């Protein structure tokens, strides 16, 4: 009787160990896949902000990785507008595209607080340091149909070809107006109906984030 009890107990322990080991392997594998997918999603958004990847085009993860590797340099920029290779608490991430040694475009991350959540994305700039070439949103928890419109193509696409400088060349960023933007104003975009707080949140924090890179942008504007 004691022998059977011992065998049963031993079998239970072995099964627990085996199951635990298998669960650990599954969790590790799942985590690795999640991290790989997150990296591809990040690269995809950066490429879209740089206008190197059309949002409507379906591409595989490998295609995204290849396009990113062939075109984008992940660097950092300090408050003096100087490029650095290593991250520190005194610099900011910058995703750069160069052709023949000349900057043709760059993208920076932004985080803006809307009505309910942080809105995260990337804004791409042309090599002139003043013209926007793309705008993406990849994370938010705003209300669908209201502030949630910030992720829709109609809202994001209107940033393209707008400018963060006024006619004098001074930095002003972008205004998300309540209603319709003036057609002749390159510093405005249409707001989202019923979502003024979300729009103004994007406007406020986007200006703050762009300001961090202004020394770098000035270098480009001055040639």
| 172 within a domain of the structure (yes/no) | yes
Amino acid 25: pLDDT: 57
| 49 within a domain of the structure (yes/no) | no
Amino acid 32: pLDDT: 76
188-189/91-99 β-pairing: unpaired
| 34 within a domain of the structure (yes/no) | no
Our count of domains for the chain comes to 1
Amino acid 3: pLDDT: 58
pTM given for the model = 0.84
CA-nearest of 143, 132, 161 to 199 is 143
Scan for tokens 């160990």, then name that residue.
17
CA-nearest of 29, 7, 40 to 138 is 40
Amino acid 34: pLDDT: 78
Q: Collect the ranges in the chain with pLDDT lower than 50.
A: none
| 10 within a domain of the structure (yes/no) | no
| 156 within a domain of the structure (yes/no) | yes
| 28 within a domain of the structure (yes/no) | no
> Residues 41-52: pLDDT tens digits?
999 999 999 999
Amino acid 140: pLDDT: 97
For residue 136, give its domain range. 97-221
d(CA 165, CA 171): 4
Q: Look up residue 44 and give its two tokens.
A: 């995809």
CA-nearest of 166, 177, 172 to 200 is 177
Amino acid 33: pLDDT: 76
Measured in degrees and rounded to the nearest 5, phi and psi for residue 74 equal -90, 110
| 101 within a domain of the structure (yes/no) | yes
| 134 within a domain of the structure (yes/no) | yes
CA-nearest of 158, 99, 116 to 134 is 158
């Amino acid at each position: 009787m004691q022998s059977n009890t011992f065998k049963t107990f031993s079998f239970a322990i072995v099964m627990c160990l085996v199951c635990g080991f298998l669960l650990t392997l599954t969790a590790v594998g799942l985590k690795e896949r999640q991290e790989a997918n997150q990296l591809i999603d990040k690269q995809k958004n950066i490429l879209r902000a740089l206008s190197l990847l059309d949002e409507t085009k379906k591409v595989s993860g490998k295609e995204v990785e290849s396009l990113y590797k062939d075109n984008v340099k992940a660097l950092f920029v300090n408050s003096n507008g100087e490029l650095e290779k290593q991250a520190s608490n005194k610099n900011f991430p910058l995703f750069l595209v160069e052709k023949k040694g000349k900057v043709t475009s760059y993208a920076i991350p932004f985080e803006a607080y809307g009505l309910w959540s942080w809105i995260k994305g990337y804004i791409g700039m042309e090599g002139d340091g003043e013209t926007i070439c793309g705008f993406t949103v990849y994370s938010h928890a705003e209300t669908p149909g209201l502030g949630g419109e910030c992720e829709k193509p109609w809202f994001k696409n209107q940033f393209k070809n707008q400018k963060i400088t006024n006619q004098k060349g001074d930095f002003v960023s972008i205004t998300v107006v309540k209603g319709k933007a003036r057609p002749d104003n390159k510093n405005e975009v249409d707001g989202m109906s019923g979502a003024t707080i979300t729009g103004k949140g994007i406007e406020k924090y986007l200006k703050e984030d762009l300001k961090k890179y202004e020394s770098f942008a000035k270098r480009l504007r001055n040639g």
